[in-house]
Amino acid sequence: MSKISFNDYQLSTNIVKALSGLGYMQPTKVQEEVIPTALEKKDMVVKSATGSGKTAAFGIPLCELVVWEENKPQVLVLTPTRELAAQVKEDITNIGRFKRIKATAIYGKQPFARQKVELNQKNHVVVGTPGRVLDHIEKGTLFIDQLKYLVIDEADEMLNMGFIDQVESIINTLPKNRMTMLFSATLPEDVEVLCHKYMRNPIHIEVTSVNSTKENIEHFFIETSDEEKFSLLKTVTIVENPDSCIIFCRTQEQVERVFDKLDRLNYNCDKIHGGMVQEDRFAVMNDFKRGEFRYLVATDVAARGIDIDSVSLVINYDIPLEKEKYVHRTGRTGRAGKTGRAITFITSYEQNRLIEIEEYIGFSLKKMEAPSKELVSNCQKAFEEKSNTRPTTKKDKSANLNKDIMKLYFNGGKKKKIRPVDFVGTIAKIPGVTADDIGIITIQDSASYVDILNGKGPIVLSAMKSTTIKGKVLKVHKAIK
C-alpha cells in the first residue's frame, strides 16, 4: 500500500465515500498506476497478479467517468467465468453505490429472456462472459451505441478457455471511439496481438511486488504417488490445520472423489466444479467466502479469479497441467497483504511439470517431507479441536457500506408508466429527505425497487405508505431480495 490516498485523485465525494465504506483506505499499487491513467481515458494493458485489487483499479475510474443520466450501457467488462462476472458486478455496484451506478451481469446458462428484461433497463455497466455478450449483441438486446469503455479482464484466461475469437468478434461490433483496458496476469503472444490490433497506443503497466506469487506465499511440494495421495492429504491437513483451505483437483470426477472421501471423514467441506448448476456454484462460493465451511475441493474453472479473503492454505492435490494455472491457484491465498501457504503434491512422473512451473515463476518450490507419524499424532488433538468448532464466519466487506441502505419494494412499475424520475420527485419531497438519499432505482413491469441511503429508509417507508406517485398509492414494503 502507498502513502497516496483516494482523495488525491479527481474523484467525486460519492465515490470516495463508498471506498471508505468498503474499508479501502489507500490505493493498492495497481490502483495507484491505473486510476490516474484511466481518468485520462488512455488505453492500457495491465499486467498484474491476482488479488492485487485490479477490479477496483478499473471499477473506481469507470464509476467516476460514467455519465449517470445516460440510459444505455457505457461500460462493458468481459470476464472468462460467470463467477467472476457476478463478482465484478458486485464490486462495481458497491463502488458506485452512492453515485447510483447500475451494473448488470450476463452469462450463459441463465435464461436469456430474463437478461433481456434486465438489459432493457437503465444500465451503466454490463459485465459478462464473451459467448452470452456476443449473443445479446447479435440479437440486438445489448445496446452498444453509447459504449465508451471496454475492459477485458483476465485476458490470458480468455485465451486459455478458447474465448479469444469471441472477444475479437465483440470488439469488432463496438464503437471505435472508446477507451480499452486489458488486464492479464500473464501476456501470452495472442493477447499482445489483440492489444496491438484493437488499442490506441496503450500504456503498459506492470505491477509485481506486494501481492506477487513469491512474497506473500510460501511454496512447497511433497513427493507422493497416486495411491498415497489421499492419505497424504489427510496427514497434511492434520498438521497444517488450516482455518480455510482450497484443495485443487484436475477433473470434476477427482473433485467428486476427494470430496466424498473427506465428507465421509466428517471434514467441514464442500465442492465446486463446472459440472454443477450455476446456482449451486454461487451458493457454495458465497458460503465459502463467509467462512461457513473450511475445506473447498475445486477444479480450476470454478475457483478462477474469485476473491476470497483469508484462505490460509492451497493444496494442489493434482499439479496443474498449465504452468499459468499454478499462479492462479496459489493466488487464492496470500491476498490483500495476508500471507499464505501453498503445497503441491507431485508424483514421480510429474517432475517435468514442477520444473516447468519453477522456470515460469522464477524460483523453486521448497521440498517438504510427508508428515511423520509422530508429527501427525502430536497435531491430532489440535486438529480435532478445530474440527469440532465452527469456523469463524466472515463479514461481507460490503456489509458496512450497505448498513445504512434500505431497499424498498413498490407494487407498480412500467405497466403503470412509472419512471425513475417519478420516484425521485416524490421521495425527495419527503421532509428530511433529499435526492442524495436515493440510491439505485430498478423499474420492472409490475414492481419497482428503490434503494434509500443514509439511514433514511424508515422515514421514506412510512411516508410512502400514504403518498401518491403519479397520482397512485402504491403498496410499499422493505424488499426481501
Which residues are near ligand AMP by CB under 6 A?
24, 26-28, 31, 51-56, 307, 309, 335-336, 397
Tell me if 18 sits within 8 A of 94, measured CB to CB.
Answer: yes
Sheet holding 313-316, edge to edge: 269-272, 295-298, 245-248, 313-316, 340-347, 217-224, 366-367
Nearer to ligand AMP, 26 or 467 (CB): 26
Q: How far is the CB of 37 from ligand AMP (least distance, A)?
A: 16
Give Cβ neighbours of residue 197 (< 8 Å, ≥ 6 apart). none
Q: How far is the CB of 438 from ligand AMP (least distance, A)?
A: 26
Q: Count CA atoms closer than 13 A to 60's CA, side-chain side.
A: 32
Q: How far is the CB of 252 from ligand AMP (least distance, A)?
A: 25
Nearer to ligand AMP, 307 or 324 (CB): 307
The C-alpha cell at 194 is: 489483440
C-alpha 396/C-alpha 384 separation (Å) is 28
For 472, phi then psi, to 5°, come to -120, 140
Q: How far is the CB of 307 from ligand AMP (least distance, A)?
A: 4
Q: How far is the CB of 153 from ligand AMP (least distance, A)?
A: 9
Q: How far is the CB of 106 from ligand AMP (least distance, A)?
A: 20
Nearer to ligand AMP, 24 or 288 (CB): 24
Q: How far is the CB of 56 from ligand AMP (least distance, A)?
A: 4
The crossing angle, in degrees rounded to 10, of helices 457-464 and 420-427 is 100
Q: How far is the CB of 226 from ligand AMP (least distance, A)?
A: 34
Q: How far is the CB of 381 from ligand AMP (least distance, A)?
A: 34
Nearer to ligand AMP, 116 or 397 (CB): 397
Nearer to ligand AMP, 51 or 439 (CB): 51
Nearer to ligand AMP, 31 or 237 (CB): 31
Nearest to 10 by CA among 37, 46, 28: 37
Nearer to ligand AMP, 56 or 75 (CB): 56
Tell me if 179 sits within 8 A of 38, measured CB to CB.
Answer: yes
Q: How far is the CB of 54 from ligand AMP (least distance, A)?
A: 4
Nearest to 387 by CA among 295, 309, 290, 316: 295
Q: How far is the CB of 13 from ligand AMP (least distance, A)?
A: 17
**What's the burial of 76, exposed, middle or buried (CB within 10 Å: 0-12/13-18/19+)?**
buried
Tell me if 29 sits within 8 A of 210, measured CB to CB.
Answer: yes
Angle at 385 between CA 380 and CA 390, to 5 degrees: 135
Distance of CA 197 to the CA centre of its chain: 28
Nearer to ligand AMP, 325 or 335 (CB): 335
Nearer to ligand AMP, 31 or 129 (CB): 31
For 440, phi then psi, to 5°, come to -65, 135
**Helices marked H in 368-450 — which ranges?**
373-387, 398-402, 420-427
- Which residue type sits at 226? D
Nearer to ligand AMP, 335 or 353 (CB): 335
- Tell me the β-bridge partners of 47: 184, 206
Nearer to ligand AMP, 127 or 438 (CB): 127
Helix %, strand %, coil % of the chain (to 5): 40, 20, 40
